[in-house]
Amino acid sequence: MTASSSEASRPVPFTAFERRFGHPPGLLVLFFAEMWERFSYYGMRGLLKLYMTNYLFVTAREALQGCRQHTPQCALVGGDPHHVFFWDALSRFLPSSTSDSASIVYGYYIGLVYATPFFGGILADRFLGQRKTVVLGALLMAAGHFVMAIESSFFVALSLLVLGNGAFKPNVSTQVGSLYAPDDPRRDGAYTIFYMGINLGAFVCNLVCGTLAAVYGWHYGFAAAGVGMLLGLSVYLGGQKYLAIDALTREKSLPIHEKKPFTVNEKRRIGALIALCALTIVFWAVFEQQGNTMQTWADEKTHWPTLFGFQIPSTWFQSINPLGIIILAPLLDIFWRYQNRHGKEPSTIGKMAFGCIILGGSFIVMIVGARLVGDGKGSLFWPTFATVLYTVGELYLSPIGLSLVAKVAPARVVSMMMGFWFLAAFIGNILSGYIGVLYTHWSKEAFFALLTLLGVAAGLALLAFKRPLKSAMEQP
């Protein structure tokens, strides 16, 4: 593509902001919209398993576990999980143990959250366009967070969140790539910045939602997540003029004779992306233990300090990973550019394989920690250090994969293919719930050893397929 044609195809013209900061202002809009959406999602996710195991699924519920103030609302109250709509039907397929049931429900929830983006991508590519689909998703998610206040509607709330996330997530991610010409070298850097926005929201949310849940009660934490979602929608609506034209709008503007079927090259690229996504399933199954068994370890087997008389809640553990992203992402970007200047930067698939291996290796720390802690409680060092390591692994795989999909997928199905990327996470997240059940039945050393083996095996599989995948993804 020549310079002139590249400029002609730019969806958003250069602005003073772009000349000064190196990126179009639309990136800032999408950065903050996604930041608030992730604030809402991770704020709720950080509470979810503890809410089920310590309150909702317990017959004699002790509200004090979700509220540290001595108020009437925080007294020991009686209850029955059978008052939750659909519980009687679903409980037939769940283990009898409350912890195991919560692990399975958690796994299905975070799994379905990553399944619906595939259909949200189709909805945007074929019917509504990316902008309208994002707005629809934001409204559904906000409704889901507020419905969480109605305990009997717990599964209804989860359903709204799953559907809303499916409409929102793939279409915000693809709009980042739409801000740049196909050959623009800033694209990878843009996705790294965008990924920092995701994790800025994930970091702040647990300090806010987790603290509100601990001090005032579970539903205050869930309500804060809903407010965050509405803030994200406000940012998105206010910044519409800085965003690229929907891919669907551009497609409709083409003459009928220009709407051709997929070429052989396009079909090969789509097939390669599907294969790559399938190879990342195990990565997500292991990585998502951070909100499942790692959160359980942080809650049950970790000494949390007291600061100025305030007992830090274990839900703050969920902020370690996003804080690590915020700190490490720019450092890794500098490191990769250094490697590039010296001709040593790994290929995209090579980075992703390395990320899987680092993820697996991070749980060696937990093997050592489990052996030393035994049946008691131990230092915050063990889950924190393991989290820092698998955060590096995440940075080598997740934002790189987002950028690759936006770059390689044919423009007319880019949202659907972004949804397929998340579909791999769906399968992995479902597996994470079943793997998490082993935490209560195996020794902790054996459980973390399994996670190590799975992560390393996923990395070796990616390395084995690196050459054919790279060849298939090459564009003419």
**Contact at 8 Å (CB) between 244 and 172?**
no
- The residue among 182, 178, 198, 174 whose CA lies nearest residue 124 is 174
CA 121 – CA 414 distance, rounded (Å) = 8
Structure tokens at 398: 């997740």
Give me the pLDDT at residue 435, please: 93
**Contact at 8 Å (CB) between 349 and 413?**
no
Q: Strands 60-62 and 306-307: what pairing?
A: unpaired
**Residue 76, strand partner residues:** 62
Helix (H, G, I), strand (E, B) or coil at 114: coil
Give the CATH architecture of domain 21-250+262-473. Up-down Bundle (1.20)
Structure tokens at 243: 């965003």
**Contact at 8 Å (CB) between 145 and 161?**
yes
Q: How confident is the model at residue 3 (pLDDT cuts 50, 70, 90)?
A: very low
Give me the pLDDT at residue 386, please: 96
Q: Model confidence over 108-136: pLDDT tens digits?
A: 888 788 888 889 888 988 888 889 999 99
Place of tokens 């958690």: 106
Mean pLDDT of the chain: 83
Give me the pLDDT at residue 137, please: 94
Place of tokens 């994790």: 199
Domain spans in the chain, listed from the N-terminal domain onward: 21-250+262-473
Structure tokens at 453: 């083996």
Give me the pLDDT at residue 100, please: 83
Give me the pLDDT at residue 15, please: 58
* DSSP assigned state of 308: T
Q: Model confidence over 373-409: pLDDT tens digits?
A: 998 999 999 999 999 999 999 999 988 888 788 788 8
Q: How confident is the model at residue 256 (pLDDT cuts 50, 70, 90)?
A: low
Give me the pLDDT at residue 254, please: 58
From residue 445, how far is each of 1, 125, 368, 451, 455 by CA, in Å? 54, 46, 8, 10, 16
- At residue 132's C-alpha, the angle toward residues 35 and 251, to 5°, is 115
Q: Model confidence over 176-225: pLDDT tens digits?
A: 888 887 677 777 778 878 888 888 888 888 788 888 888 888 889 889 98
Q: Model confidence over 330-368: pLDDT tens digits?
A: 888 788 878 888 888 888 889 999 999 999 999 999 999
Show Cβ contacts of residue 463 under 8 Å, excluding neighbours closer than 6 positions. 350, 353
pTM over 0.85: no
> Is pLDDT of 14 > 60?
no
Q: How confident is the model at residue 8 (pLDDT cuts 50, 70, 90)?
A: very low
- At residue 419's C-alpha, the angle toward residues 415 and 422, to 5°, is 145
- The residue among 127, 49, 82, 26 whose CA lies nearest residue 440 is 49
Give me the pLDDT at residue 71, please: 45
Q: How confident is the model at residue 20 (pLDDT cuts 50, 70, 90)?
A: low
CA 299 – CA 42 distance, rounded (Å) = 17
**Contact at 8 Å (CB) between 305 and 312?**
yes
Show Cβ contacts of residue 125 under 8 Å, excluding neighbours closer than 6 positions. 247, 248, 412, 413, 414, 415, 416
Cβ neighbour number for residue 64 with a 10 Å cutoff: 18
The phi, psi pair for 347, rounded to 5°, reads: -65, 165
CA 229 – CA 35 distance, rounded (Å) = 9
Burial class of residue 285 in the structure, from the number of CB atoms within 10 Å of its CB (0-12 exposed, 13-18 middle, 19+ buried): buried
Show Cβ contacts of residue 414 under 8 Å, excluding neighbours closer than 6 positions. 125, 174, 177, 247, 405, 406
**Contact at 8 Å (CB) between 367 and 449?**
yes
Mean pLDDT of 424-428: 86
> Is pLDDT of 160 > 80?
yes
> Is pLDDT of 251 > 70?
no
Largest Cα separation within the chain, whole Å, is: 71
DSSP letter for each residue of 32-59: HHHHHHHHHHHHHHHHHHHHIIIIIT-S
CA 286 – CA 448 distance, rounded (Å) = 10
At how many degrees (to 10) do helices 154-178 and 414-437 cross? 140
Q: Express as a percent the part of the chain with pLDDT over 70.
A: 87
Q: How confident is the model at residue 16 (pLDDT cuts 50, 70, 90)?
A: low
Which sign, positive or negative, has the C-alpha torsion 40, 435, 392, 327? positive
Which is more confidently placed, 280 or 340?
Answer: 280
Give me the pLDDT at residue 347, please: 85
